[in-house]
Structure 1
Amino acid sequence: MSKKAKPRVYDKAGKQVKVADKSWYTLQASGEAEQRNIEIFVYGEIGAWGVTANQFVQDLRAMDDGASPVIVAFNSIGGDLFDGLAIHNALSRLGERCTGRIDALAASAASVAVCGAHRVVIAANAMLMIHNPYTFTGGDAEDFRRVADVLDQTLEAIIAAYKAKAPDIDEAELRRMVNAETWLTANEAVALGLADEVGDGLKVSACLGQGSVLQRFQNAPPELLAQLDEEPDVEPKEPDIQPDPAPVLDAAGLALLVTKSCAAAGISNLVEPLLATTKLESEAVVTAALTRAKALHGLCVAARLPELTGEFIAAGLDEAAVRARLFDKLVSSGGGFEINNSLPLDNDPEPTVKAKQVDTQAIWSSRQAAHTGTSKGARA
């Protein structure tokens, strides 16, 4: 399955949780202590580019009291298979007080994760998609044979996750549907046992700003893809009472703002590149740069390359460009392979087996040594 803004934790009883395009997931606790409900929104990709299993479990642990009902709402195209399996098991350990809710789409790793809930409610107009695991790698024939074996093993983990939710499902038919990349409607998911109840339909954007990723799948329903062209609904805003304008900060004040904000966010190492790139032009420029720096820092930390954040800020890169740079770094590092239960985008380059790079320096040194030896022999 595949590809962080820092999660936002809400504790606002009775208020709607608004999930913006760039919010990966949110948590909220509502009600009094005796009648508390915990609601988690997994809206976005699962894994290093979205919500990791580690972040999910840590945030849930911080909010869970061991007794309150937990509702986990999904609208996700999936992501990293093993993070999906870990979330699946975390939900399973909650027992009967856990309900999984599919608000629009639970595809790939998200379908594995949601099946860990004791009860799954799928919206009438939502879908659940199941398919084979996918990955990329490079190497010789033995490397590819080893990766193929790993993919076969991970397929068994996927099948086990579905069968844990639907023990009476026909396994041969389940394997056929997984292999064929099957998109299930709400009624079909309930009929198979992968969901327990059809709930009310909701109007939720395809994947909250990541809808284009749906194009990587082979059999994505046309009606789901059509949502990508729809204009987003804009809720009317109530007029705000404008407070008195804040005082305009001078250069010294802006520099202090950068320093304090970076210290509070734990990114004091980024003060210098931020001062250099913003040139302390205005508070708006500085605030925007700080927001971007925090986002880029989160991406680099997720990729285990935090030392590159300053370089990316100095280069003026946005989040999309940094994701691309980090992806190239991870793929070219040769540190192994990643199980990815999603298919590549149509415009992604085909995976290739790269030959070992020629070490020109070593060859030159070897020739120089040989030439020196020959010369000495001739003189003798």
Structure 2
Amino acid sequence: MSKKAKPHIYNRAGKRVQVQDKTWYAVQADGEAAERVIEIFVYGEIGAWGVTANQFVQDLRAMDDGVSPVIAAFNSIGGDLFDGLAIHNALSRLGERCTGRVDALAASAASVAVCGAHRVVIAANAMLMIHNPSTYTGGDAEDFRRVADVLDQTLEAIIAAYKSKAPDVDEAELRRLVDAETWLTASEAVALGLADEVGDGVKVKACLGQGWVMQRFQNAPADLLAQLDEPPEADPDDPPLVPPAPVVDSTRLALMITQSCTQAGISNLIEPLIKVTKLVDEATVQAALTRARAVNDLCVAARFPEATVGFVSAGLDVDAVRGRLFDKLVGSGKGFEIDNSLPLQDDPALKVQAKQPDPPSIWAARKGAQVGQTSSSKGA
């Protein structure tokens, strides 16, 4: 490398990386010519709900000059396994000029992705989590057997990804740790071979508003789960959705909704937003606009854009919409998607509904039997 990366490269980014919808993803270059360093921040879920492999690879190709050092920084709870594998391979192809950095958390598919880097530096206060793949599916016994076989095959892909980073690791021990859902500290990750160096600790929240996802894991550390109860932090540098202006009447509020929706490309939500906010005040309108934009992004990602108007009209928040979209995806019968995020432990079990008695039918049957007995007696 012509220029050695500093440990605090996160803090010397050329410009502040903007946070949008609690998913932080940016590709930027610092410096010129031979001193140029390309930084990739993957701060959020990997897959359709956050950073897809296609987006990652295309953005990297557009920025990469083939010679500059590349630093891929991760703070992610994971997500889609195959997107994680694709990112892993993209980093691996960069060779020795690629450094992976775990700033707070590289869990699940994110741990697979970061291990594609030639050199991995994990912050002293960061963690790396490895576990078995899992998925949601439905169907008959043969369907479940087929999915089980696929999960066994994808586990081998995960093991291969880790062994590419730590070729000398004891495979039996690695499989035991993966099966047990193991949360590795920085020193433990280095000892296992999945990281090369413990770097300086950087104060970065490990969940970035996605703390609710931590409930899916069985052995999540208590300090990470504690973030579930922390209120979201407002960033004073984030630009407002619309320029602040004194609003004195409902006409101004309606105009605010119209302009903001038009600018964001969601004009179909103007009428639902006016109805759901009732143009009470500016704070209500601003909150509804932010929520509508996030809901629209989720629906587009799930390929159900037609559902956006209904969700916004009902005033649903992002978590409620996420749940309904998941139900739509599972119920569509379009197959299953491998995802190494675990289901919530308290997911209710499917209940077998007993057939309810039909009193009119029972009464009619009894009455018919009595009439038949009476006729038989008379004939005798």
TM-score (normalised: structure 2): 0.78
Post-superposition offset of 1:24: 3.5
Q: Secondary structure at the match of 1:101?
A: strand
Q: Which moved more, 1:214-223 or 1:162-171?
A: 214-223
CA deviation vs aligned residue, 1:56-108 (integer Å, no higher than 9, x gap): 22333333333332211112221111111111122122222221101121111
Post-superposition offset of 1:44: 2.1
Q: Distance in 1 between matches of 2:57 and 2:127?
A: 25
Asked whether the 8 Å contact 2:25–2:42 carries over to 1, the reply is yes
Q: Distance in 1 between matches of 2:101 and 2:140?
A: 43
Inter-CA distance 128–344: structure 2 relative to 1 (3 Å threshold): same
Counting aligned pairs with the same residue, the percent is 78
Q: Secondary structure at the match of 2:338?
A: strand
Q: Secondary structure at the match of 2:135?
A: strand
- Give the structure 2 partner of residue 65 of structure 1: 65
Is 1:128 aligned to residue 128 of structure 2?
yes
**Which letter does structure 1 place at the counterpart of 2:202?**
L
Asked whether the 8 Å contact 1:24–1:45 carries over to 2, the reply is no
- Give the structure 1 partner of residue 22 of structure 2: 22
Q: Distance in 2 between matches of 1:234 and 1:309?
A: 26
**Which letter does structure 1 place at the counterpart of 2:29?**
A
Inter-CA distance 289–231: structure 2 relative to 1 (3 Å threshold): closer
**Which letter does structure 2 place at the counterpart of 1:117?**
A
Asked whether the 8 Å contact 1:46–1:109 carries over to 2, the reply is yes
- Give the structure 2 partner of residue 43 of structure 1: 43
Gaps (5+ residues) in structure 2?
A: 1-11, 238-242, 355-380
CA deviation vs aligned residue, 1:266-305 (integer Å, no higher than 9, x gap): 3233233234334455555444333222211110011110
- Give the structure 2 partner of residue 220 of structure 1: 220
- Give the structure 1 partner of residue 155 of structure 2: 155
Task: Please list every run of at least 4 consecutive aligned residues from structure 1 whose deviation after the TM superposition is greater than 6 angstroms.
Answer: 230-235, 351-355
**Which letter does structure 1 place at the counterpart of 2:14?**
G
**Which letter does structure 2 place at the counterpart of 1:312?**
F
Gaps (5+ residues) in structure 1?
A: 1-11, 239-243, 356-380
Post-superposition offset of 1:172: 2.2
Asked whether the 8 Å contact 2:218–2:345 carries over to 1, the reply is no
Inter-CA distance 218–94: structure 2 relative to 1 (3 Å threshold): same
Q: Distance in 1 between matches of 2:15 and 2:308?
A: 36
Alignment of 1:130-149 (within 5 A): 130-149=130-149
Inter-CA distance 66–276: structure 2 relative to 1 (3 Å threshold): farther
Asked whether the 8 Å contact 2:18–2:24 carries over to 1, the reply is no
- Give the structure 2 partner of residue 168 of structure 1: 168
Asked whether the 8 Å contact 2:22–2:210 carries over to 1, the reply is no
Is 1:110 aligned to residue 110 of structure 2?
yes
Q: Secondary structure at the match of 1:161?
A: helix
- Root-mean-square deviation (CA, aligned residues, Å) is 3.2
**Which letter does structure 2 place at the counterpart of 1:185?**
T
Q: Distance in 1 between matches of 2:180 and 2:75?
A: 22
Q: Distance in 2 between matches of 1:170 and 1:340?
A: 26
- Give the structure 1 partner of residue 348 of structure 2: 349
Q: Secondary structure at the match of 1:135?
A: coil
Inter-CA distance 198–132: structure 2 relative to 1 (3 Å threshold): same
- Give the structure 1 partner of residue 325 of structure 2: 326
Q: Distance in 1 between matches of 2:104 and 2:176?
A: 24
Inter-CA distance 64–252: structure 2 relative to 1 (3 Å threshold): farther
Is 1:338 aligned to residue 337 of structure 2?
yes
Q: Which moved more, 1:32-41 or 1:294-303?
A: 32-41
Q: Distance in 2 between matches of 1:265 and 1:66?
A: 35
Asked whether the 8 Å contact 1:103–1:202 carries over to 2, the reply is yes
Inter-CA distance 316–17: structure 2 relative to 1 (3 Å threshold): same
Inter-CA distance 261–60: structure 2 relative to 1 (3 Å threshold): farther
Alignment of 1:1-380 (within 5 A): 14-17=14-17, 19=19, 22-226=22-226, 246=245, 248=247, 254-350=253-349
Work out which of the two has the higher radius of gyration on C-alpha atoms and give 1 or 2.
2
